[in-house]
Structure 1
Amino acid sequence: MEQRIHHAGLGAKVMSAEQAAELIDPGMTIGMSGFTGAGYPKAVPQALAARMTASHQHGEAFRVRVLTGASTAPELDGALARADGIDLRLPYQSDPELRGRINRGEMDYIDIHLSHVAQYAWFGLFGKLDLAIIEATAILPDGRLVPSSSVGNNKTWLDLADKVIIEVNHWQPSELDGMHDIYYGTALPPHRKPIPLVNPDDRIGEPYLRCDPEKVIAVVETHAPDRNSAFAPVDETSRQIAGHLIEFFRHEIARGRIPPELLPLQSGVGNIANAVLAGLREAGFRGLTAFTEVIQDGMLDLLAQGVLKVASATSFSLSPKGIDQFLADLEFFRSRIILRTQEISNHPELVRRLGCIAMNGMVEADIYGNVNSTHVAGTSIINGIGGSGDFARNGFMSCFLTPSTAKHGAVSCIVPMVSHVDHTEHDVSILVTEQGLADLRGLSPRQRAHAIIRHCAHPDYRPLLQDYFDRAFRDSKGKHTPHLLAEALSWHERFVEKGDMRP
């Protein structure tokens, strides 16, 4: 493998993943790199999981607390979960094994806004950070690290951890050097100063992560790709949702509320998000920018086609095809993508100042515009709130997108009352399904209910929702936000009992 470790002292600390895992003690709180399946440590977590399994076979407890940037991959979350090695996990996850253990009550999980994680860590709310395990592309002669395909909370973990293990991944292209912008100007109250970022393409920091060589206890060399799943083909429902939203953008441009090049885009991950991005190209939009969390396949396409000028994020979230596209034209993308720490990519003040257009998926919305983006039937976590709340609360326009039904029609994604609230009606501007779009801005609760039922609900459920609202308005004492409390969650109860929300 080519030389990637240019610090003599750290070169002397190169060892195997198994040797590095021996340096990790039960009960440690560990900050690991990784954000949406990119830039996570590949070897040490698997070696640690093997050690945990061996300890459990001998009747010895071995669990750790794991903090990351967001979700990781099977080599980290999956391996440690299967080994019953995680006591606490935060702030976001997507691994099936991990999710199952969380929902069975076998481990603790904290679902938290991504912009809060670094600040809470600095406040000490997660306890002392014993160890950081960080993937890097290279180590410079002075000990600084060239970040890999995500930044996430790596700066914070390196600053706070007592000890550091570095995985130098030779699979990550050396051309990533210079793509990152690591800002070291944040501080805790009352010593905060304005962050000097006024455009998505502003560079306000430095391209490398600072790392105290004295804290490094091991360096492990790897050659392993990021693991992300392929996106399913965009279906007709996603195209219809995208079409409603793009038509609405044109409406807003015509009324002078947003410019022809829109405002900086934030987009969640998935088929609907990629359909919206593709629709923007087909609709003739040009000169767009993105200030978001992740660069996904759709954004690579917009950059390659000249629709998008620049994309600022904290990580990649690419399918295998997207990874190939990025690697094949890396020099082109390198000058048009900036990867930042997630305390900057998700910073509420920056989102508000830039006027981001937030586009995120959801599980369900109720007739008043409250959104559940994390739970099934109010009790089982799916992935987590991620950064959607950072953008929904603070963006210029907060759009939530979903098909109107799920489970082949057995579930309505528009319900009388959501079973779990992640985004209150106060933070939701626009709801879109394949049925249509409801602009909730400037509407009272009863007006919102009429708009959502009329424009977003599936025809199979629309009469049921209208009947619920009419009876609630007639029979409830409070007419401002009418509800039948004994019936508000009956749809979810029916689904849990019978597998279908329909009576």
Structure 2
Amino acid sequence: MDRIAHPGLRAKEMSAEDAAALIRPGHNVGMSGFTGAAYPKAVPVALAKQIGAAHAAGQDFRIGVWTGASTAPELDGELALVDGVDLRMPYQSDPETRKRINEGSMNYCDIHLSHVAPTVWQGFFGRLDTAVVEVAGIDEHGDLIPASSVGNNKTWLDIADQVILEVNEWHSLELLGMHDIYYGTELPPNRVPIPMTHPADRIGQTTLRVDPEKVVAVVRTNAPDRNSTLKPVDDISKQIAGHFLEFLEHQVKVGRIPKNLLPLQSGVGNIANAVLAGLDSGPFRNIYAYTEVIQDGMVDLLDSGTVAKASATAFSLSPPAAERMNERAAEYREKIILRPQEISNHPEVIRRLGVIACNGMVEADIYGNVNSTHVMGTRIMNGIGGSGDFARNSLISCFVSPSTAKGGDISVIVPMASHVDHTEHDVSAIATEWGLADLRGLSPKKRAKKIIDTCAHPDFRPALHEYFEWAQKVSKAQHTPHDLSKALGWHQRFLDEGTMHS
């Protein structure tokens, strides 16, 4: 079948260059994409060339770029290289984009992923001039067959003044039926409860709606998603995963969670995949996932039957796994539900379902405050993403990381976090390769002892104990004792000397 089955929209087919020319300087552009899944492949590249040409001619041409989350070099990278972005939000992982944010030439707004849609609807980022959305196809009614991510596409299509569609023939049309697009969200005071009580509930429709009159261009493409191939799971990741899985087994044993656990959320990365791999050899079966992204490890669990169904907003698959997903899309759509991120990350739903969350971190301090975004307090890495949505609202919220970085020169456990994304109130447990510290029910000073003795690298434990004991001596308040003159001294030492070791 023709991927563009609607005659009126087929008549608007044009080249990526002609479509990009419809985006003007100063436009805010809502792009599809969540991780390297279903981001537009052609229009951003063509737009970057036009911006570069404008700059070469002495003309100012920059745009606002809004997405679901991170994208890929053809979008974030190309636009950053020509200094074409004024404001980027809400999450990014591109090296060129990160470089410009940290040098101050690109504005960046890092917000919770569940907050993006309502914040945009309220107009805080201004008008959305253009939406550029990749889809798998357009049916005869003009409805859009979503591709490998949903993200904020529903919102972009609803509110943009004009819409450019990329129809990517690389995606399988068998994806139709996998998605669950809910159109019942409202702003206060008209907000109503999200009608979900189980991760596998379907509450919406399988296609995206768009006003055909707003569509100004349709571009055909045929190009794969670009996600990084996952690194082989290393020993440290396996050790961290082992501690987390042992913790879950204990929670079942003492009766806090059922034998098939509660819905699982896992962040992106090697440790998350190690945890998922460990689940396949563990005692748990008939597990459900309520998460943001589906990685290779989750697909393996669906294949083995360990996970019954998984709900997310996007795939984040290596190239071989992405090809497998395309080839077996009809089979996987019975096991996978892809939703808008305002639903996949909705605080009310996360709390109601009792999600068990596992996310990565940059560092944690001895009292349990977690930094997941900034290196040495000021240099942004990627952004908070959805970790805050899940940390604040999950039944159990665990943060994981190797205990050191930079070849052992940086301790991930520090006296005071140089930036805080997740306060001690939202952190149930912290795990490194040395162990897992369950922090629930502990006062700050008891948390400190637990974290140092359980999670810190042995090379740094004596210095952490020394700081903690000193802080108790000099602090006038003993609830959370600190010596503010020394609390960030480890970070300053690294900046000055290249190591946190004294």
Equivalent AA in structure 1 for residue 386 of structure 2? G
- Corresponding residue for residue 335 of structure 1: 334
Looking at structure 2, the residues matched to 460 and 295 of structure 1 have their Cα atoms a distance apart, in angstroms, of: 36
Match of 2:159 in 1: 160
Partners of 2:148 and 2:171 within 8 A in 1: yes
Residue 48 of structure 2 corresponds to residue 56 of structure 1: no
Residue 499 of structure 2: aligned partner: 500
Q: Which residue of 2 aligns with 1:232?
A: 231
**Distance (whole Å) between structure 1 residues aligned to residue 409 and residue 5 of structure 2:** 58
Contact 2:175 2:330 in 1 (8 A): no
What one-letter code is carried by the residue in structure 1 that aligns with 2:92?
A: Q
Q: Does 1:258 align with 2:229?
A: no
SS in 1 for 2:136: strand
Paired AA for residue 183 in structure 1:
Y
1:301 aligned partner: 300
Aligned-residue identity in percent: 65
Question: Quick one: which amino acid aligns to residue 406 of structure 2?
Answer: K
Displacement of 1:204 in angstroms is 0.3
Amino acid at match of 1:299: M
Q: Which residue of 1 is the match for residue 124 of structure 2?
A: 125
Whether the 8 Å contact between 2:196 and 2:203 is mirrored in structure 1 is yes
Partner of 1:20: 19
CA offset at residue 282 of structure 1? 1.0
1:264-303 equivalence runs, <5 A: 264-303=263-302
**AA matched with 2:45:** Q
Q: Could you tell me how far apart the structure 2 residues matched to 1:84 and 1:194 are?
A: 42
Partners of 2:354 and 2:394 lie apart in 1 by 6
- Cα distance in 2 between the residues matched to 1:253 and 1:107: 47
Deviation at 1:327, TM superposition (A): 2.7
The alignment partner of 1:386 has SS state of coil
Which residue of structure 1 aligns with residue 186 of structure 2? 187
For residues 256-405 of structure 1, what are the structure 2 equivalents within 5 Å? 256-405=255-404
Separation (CA, whole Å) in 1 of partners of 2:142 and 2:328: 29
Offset at residue 332 of structure 1 (A): 2.0
**Cα deviation, residue 324, structure 1:** 2.6
In 1: Cα distance, 2:332 partner to 2:138 partner: 23
Q: Is the 8 A contact 2:172 2:327 kept in 1?
A: no
Query: What residue ranges of structure 1 are gaps of 5+ in the alignment?
Result: none
**Does the CA contact (< 8 Å) of 2:295 and 2:316 recur in 1?**
yes
Task: Return the alpha-carbon distance in structure 2 between the equivalents of residues 497 and 143 of structure 1.
Answer: 59
Q: Counterparts in 2 of 1:395-474, with a 5 A limit?
A: 395-474=394-473
Q: How far has the Cα of 1:281 moved from its partner?
A: 1.1
**For each residue in 1:253-291, what CA deviation from the matched residue of structure 2 results, as whole angstroms up to 9, or x when unmatched?**
111000010000000011100000111111131110000
Q: Which runs of 5+ in 2 are unaligned?
A: none
Q: Distance in 2 between matches of 1:443 and 1:336?
A: 39
Number of residue equivalences = 502
- 1:324 alignment partner AA: E
Q: 1:365 Cα shift?
A: 0.1
Residues 124-148 of structure 1: per-residue CA shift (max 9 Å, x gap):
0110111100001111122110111
- Partners in 2 of 1:110 and 1:6 — Cα distance? 38
Residue 36 of structure 2: aligned partner: 37
Instruction: Say which SS state the counterpart of residue 181 (structure 1) adopts.
Output: coil
Residues in 1 aligned to 2:233 and 2:140: alpha-carbon distance in whole angstroms:
46
Q: Aligned equivalents of 2:324 and 2:477: distance in 1?
A: 56
Q: How far apart are 1:195 and its partner, in Å?
A: 1.1
Distance 1:218 1:501 in 2: 54
Q: What SS is found at the alignment partner of 1:312?
A: strand
Q: CA deviation at 1:502?
A: 0.4
Q: Does 1:105 align with 2:78?
A: no
TM-score by length of 1: 0.99
Q: Distance in 2 between matches of 1:292 and 1:143?
A: 30
- Distance in 1 (CA, whole Å) between partners of 2:432 and 2:21 is 51
Deviation at 1:194, TM superposition (A): 1.3
Q: Is residue 9 of structure 2 the alignment partner of residue 6 of structure 1?
A: no
For residues 73-112 of structure 1, the aligned pairs below 5 Å read 73-112=72-111
In the alignment, the residues of structure 2 paired with residue 321 and residue 400 of structure 1 have an alpha-carbon distance, to the nearest angstrom, of 29
* Alpha-carbon offset, residue 331 of structure 1: 2.4
Name the SS for the 1:88 alignment partner: strand
Q: Distance in 2 between matches of 1:324 and 1:302?
A: 17
Where 2:462 maps in the other structure, the secondary structure is: helix
**Hey, what's the Cα distance between the residues in 2 that align with 1:345 and 1:10?**
30
Q: Does 1:219 align with 2:227?
A: no
The alpha-carbon deviation at position 325 of structure 1 amounts to 2.7
Partner Cα separation in structure 1 for residue 490 and residue 295 of structure 2: 35
Q: Distance in 2 between matches of 1:175 and 1:327?
A: 8
Please state how far the C-alpha of 1:207 moved relative to its aligned partner: 0.4
**Secondary structure at 1:274 match in 2:** helix
Q: Deviations over 1:420-457 (max 9, x none)?
A: 00000000000000000100000000010010001000
Partner Cα distance (1:48, 1:422) in 2: 34
Give distance in 2, aligned partners of 1:362 and 1:188.
32
Which ranges of 4 or more aligned residues in structure 1 deviate by more than 3 Å?
none
- How far apart in 2 are the matches of 1:13 and 1:381? 40
Q: In structure 2, what is the Cα distance between the partners aligned to 1:321 and 1:499?
A: 39
Q: C-alpha displacement at 1:321, in angstroms?
A: 2.2
- SS of structure 2 residue aligned to 1:89: strand
Shift of 1:193: 1.1
SS at match of 2:203: coil
Q: TM-score, with normalisation over the residues of structure 2?
A: 0.99
Q: What is the alpha-carbon distance in structure 1 between the residues aligned to residue 214 and residue 315 of structure 2?
A: 28
CA–CA separation in structure 2 for the residues paired with 1:141 and 1:497 = 63
**Alignment-derived partner of residue 205 in structure 1:** 204
Quick one: distance in 1 between partners of 2:274 and 2:478? Answer: 39
In structure 2, C-alpha distance between the alignment counterparts of 1:259 and 1:329, rounded to whole Å: 31
1:330 positional shift: 2.4
